[in-house]
Structure 1
Amino acid sequence: MLLNGTYLTTRYVPVSHMTIANSRPFGQRYAFVVVGVIFLCLLIAAGLRSSMSVMMVPLEDAFGWRRDVISLAAAVGIFIYGLAGPFAAALMERIGLRRTLLAALLIMSASTALSLLMTKPWQLVATWGVLSGVGSGAVATVLGATIVNRWFKTNRGLMMGLMSASAATGLLVFLPLLAALSQWGGWQPVAIAVSVATAALVPLVWLLVPERPSSIGLTRYGADGPEPEAAAVSGNFLTHTLSTLRKAAGTRVFWYLFATFFICGFTTNGLVGTHLIAFCGDMGIPEVQAAGLLAVMGVFDLIGTTFSGWLTDRFDPRKLLGVYYAVRGLALIYLPLSGFSPWALAVFAVFYGLDWIATVPPTLRLSNEAFGDRSGPLVFGWIVAGHQVGAAAAAFFGGYMRELQGDYDLAFQIAGLTAIGAAALSLLIRPTGPREEMAEPQAA
């Protein structure tokens, strides 16, 4: 995957790109146009992945499917979403970021539209699990890292914080609307809304997102002048992806980052993102009101994650991770004991929301420091895969515990304890220092 603009995947420059960029007096600031479009893509992908939280009860009512069966489909989608990330990163190097992104958006739109025809649980797994997971996996954190580092030489932490916060914005924009749609017409209007919104992004990406700054005669934001580009990436992208994983897996720092990000996924979109609305429903809180709670959390995460990017440019990322995971753990332990009063939920929304995806900028910085600008982003893709494995485990675990015990209390408290464990583990991370190339790995 590309982080500093040194990989070259294509020399072909569409005329529309050159015309659009050169006809506007943006200069290096055109990077913010690209970031804006990618922000929307990440926002829609986050909305797709979080849709299962508002569809869970309507699907249960419409088909009579058990909560753990629906949770399995959500878990499969989250797992494939994470697993697809590093392969999508390598594919972006091989055939181009723009082509990969357009294909992913089309898959996301088609898969959610196809779900309107489903009648069996396996079809839910196939559409909202497998196909949407493949598509949204290419429109994820790894995409944000690629864009930020292709288009920015300075302010990377801040911009990565903003891109990461798009998931929170997805909650803010989509969940109240999707919850209202599901309350009005069941799960089908939710699927239609996601499919249409995803398809609407295709022309924006086609017209406004060049392959890289040099494709339209620009340099990265903050660069003083033209920068050298490496030779084109060749060979099998699958081999390259797996080879990078093999080398990274020989280091301690990779497994520390993988483990902490596994817990990050377990304690965010896997459990809270999938089951919080259903948890609130068990406590007598209507679906739209519960979605509003997630939206409030989204507002605070937009603030918290962007600020985390600013802090990551200035402070030790290990200590930041330790604070973030500790606060998250305490918030999760607190929620089942809170009584779910409006005041108690407001406290949870603020503290948990500020922390939702604040871990991404410091984790990316540590990956770059350990594995260098060339290999770091692709390694980060595998670390993100660990995040989604944890999220998938929590999505299923939450539904299983709900069926087993009749409530979500213990599931949330266990998740809180794992987050506190991740806080301690974060302080053990010791990157060896920045390397332009990932040489033979340090023994674990």
Structure 2
Amino acid sequence: GIVRVMCVGALVYAAGLALMSVAITPGLLNLSAGVLVGFGLSACSFNLVLAAFGKLLPERWRSLGFGAGTAAGSFGQFLFPPLATGLISQVGWQETLIVFAAVILLVVPLAFALSTRGTQTAGGGPVAAPRQSIRGALGEAFGHPSYVLLVLGFFTCGFQLAFVTVHMPAYLADHGITAGVGASTLALIGLFNVVGSLSAGALSNRFSRKYLLAAIYAARGVAIAAFILFPITPLTCLLFGAAIGLLWLSTVPPTSGLVMLMFGTRYMAMLYGFAFFSHQVGGFLGVYLGGVLYEAFGSYDVVWWLSVALSFASAAINLPIRERPVERLVPSGA
């Protein structure tokens, strides 16, 4: 279950951080920071938390819960980097890793709050979902055009997030923007992401999720295009940070909500995990192509415009999605 996975993940994550604090060879560093931290982080990721929320919360609270879970993770990304910097300056990087390993262990007792009891419900209401095998669930999902479209659209989210996170400082430096402004821009992204995630969760309860996703992706395209078309100044950097922060992970609540609506709660973690895999593939390509195309053309302009094109493509991809449970979950006679 989700609780066991998160507990084991937290232990592996903490072990990876502790081992990294004493890593003195490249092999040991790869094992600790790469393998152990990588597996541990995956097992504690927010897709598992959101799946648990879907089972714990009633239908009317799920989207808001998804937004709150995403916002909490976003706030952690905003809070811990400066905390880590302060600790490193005071006690050193090795001791800081030990402190963070201890913090990660708090996931173990907290995960038990996500344990569920009773009958799971279908994503669309209080109808009990027929039992289904993992193979059957995967076949049903990847044979469902709306799910495939949703997964493809989520690729863009990962591409843009990773590209901006990794390459934004270098892009701003190329335009004479100080490192301080760059750091403030990234901090604003993290701060406004909290607001955007909560807002997207609330809006998912009131409006069509597919139209909300289309609007978010289109708004990203407009924000990115405006940023690269206007002169790059400290003010435009901060404005872009606030705007893109509102849209940063605001795709998560409607995306996870649609997965649960279509297929119910039983395999929510697995099916959303495949959507998140698409997100991570996009993230890899955002970082990789950002470097490759910069080397080829001497600027990031091509990647920025590619991000704009992907935004509008994802907006269009989400429009044909059918917002209803699969036939298996629809009561006979409904």
What secondary structure is seen at the aligned counterpart in 2 of 1:271?
helix
User: CA 1:128–1:299 in 2, change beyond 3 Å: closer, same or farther?
Assistant: same
Determine the structure 1 residue equivalent to 2:77. Answer: 171
Cα distance in 2 for partners of 1:309, 1:196 equals: 33
Corresponding residue to 1:355 among 220, 241, 247: 247
Contact (CA 8 Å) 1:253, 1:430: kept in 2 or not? yes
Determine the structure 1 residue equivalent to 2:115. Answer: 212
2:272 is the counterpart of 1:367:
no
2:161 is the counterpart of 1:255:
no
Cα distance in 2 for partners of 1:426, 1:231 equals: 28
User: CA 1:367–1:204 in 2, change beyond 3 Å: closer, same or farther?
Assistant: closer
Cα distance in 2 for partners of 1:434, 1:162 equals: 27
Shift of 1:256: 0.1
Deviates more, 1:299-308 or 1:367-376: 367-376
Contact (CA 8 Å) 1:176, 1:292: kept in 2 or not? no
Contact (CA 8 Å) 2:49, 2:69: kept in 1 or not? yes
2:300 is the counterpart of 1:408:
yes
Contact (CA 8 Å) 2:181, 2:237: kept in 1 or not? no
Determine the structure 2 residue equivalent to 1:83. Answer: none
Determine the structure 2 residue equivalent to 1:103. Answer: 8
Determine the structure 1 residue equivalent to 2:53. Answer: 148
Shift of 1:405: 3.4
Contact (CA 8 Å) 2:17, 2:32: kept in 1 or not? yes
TM-score when normalising by structure 2:
0.82
2:257 is the counterpart of 1:334:
no
Amino acid at match of 2:207: F
Shift of 1:437: 5.1
What secondary structure is seen at the aligned counterpart in 1 of 2:200?
helix
Contact (CA 8 Å) 2:172, 2:182: kept in 1 or not? yes
TM-score when normalising by structure 1:
0.64
Residues 355-400 of structure 1 show CA distances to partners (whole Å, capped at 9, x for unaligned) of 0011111112221222233234432221111111111221222222
Determine the structure 1 residue equivalent to 2:99. Answer: 196
User: CA 1:244–1:291 in 2, change beyond 3 Å: closer, same or farther?
Assistant: farther
What secondary structure is seen at the aligned counterpart in 1 of 2:299?
coil
Shift of 1:156: 0.9
| Matches for 1:19-418 after TM superposition, within 5 Å | 92=1, 97-116=2-21, 117=23, 119-120=25-26, 126-153=31-58, 154-178=60-84, 189=93, 193=96, 196-203=99-106, 205-206=108-109, 209-210=112-113, 212=115, 214=117, 241=134, 243-268=136-161, 270-418=162-310
Amino acid at match of 1:407: S
User: CA 1:343–1:211 in 2, change beyond 3 Å: closer, same or farther?
Assistant: closer
Amino acid at match of 2:80: F
Which structure 1 segments of 5+ residues have no match? 1-91, 221-226, 234-239, 439-444
Determine the structure 2 residue equivalent to 1:67. Answer: none
Residues 273-329 of structure 1 show CA distances to partners (whole Å, capped at 9, x for unaligned) of 222233334444444542322121122111111011111011111110111001112
Contact (CA 8 Å) 2:52, 2:114: kept in 1 or not? no
Shift of 1:335: 3.1
Shift of 1:128: 3.7
Contact (CA 8 Å) 2:10, 2:107: kept in 1 or not? no
Cα distance in 1 for partners of 2:17, 2:174 equals: 27
Corresponding residue to 2:312 among 415, 420, 423: 420
Contact (CA 8 Å) 1:265, 1:387: kept in 2 or not? yes
Amino acid at match of 1:310: A
What secondary structure is seen at the aligned counterpart in 2 of 1:144?
helix
Cα distance in 1 for partners of 2:271, 2:292 equals: 32
Amino acid at match of 2:48: L
Residues 243-296 of structure 1 show CA distances to partners (whole Å, capped at 9, x for unaligned) of 53233111211210110011111111x212222233334444444542322121
Contact (CA 8 Å) 1:113, 1:192: kept in 2 or not? no
User: CA 1:354–1:155 in 2, change beyond 3 Å: closer, same or farther?
Assistant: same
Cα distance in 2 for partners of 1:231, 1:430 equals: 21
Determine the structure 1 residue equivalent to 2:123. Answer: none
Cα distance in 2 for partners of 1:397, 1:345 equals: 22
Amino acid at match of 1:160: F
What secondary structure is seen at the aligned counterpart in 2 of 1:343?
helix
Determine the structure 2 residue equivalent to 1:59. Answer: none
Shift of 1:230: 9.4
Cα distance in 2 for partners of 1:419, 1:168 equals: 21
User: CA 1:247–1:230 in 2, change beyond 3 Å: closer, same or farther?
Assistant: closer
Contact (CA 8 Å) 2:20, 2:97: kept in 1 or not? no
Shift of 1:192: 5.6
Matched positions, count: 322
Which structure 2 segments of 5+ residues have no match? 121-125
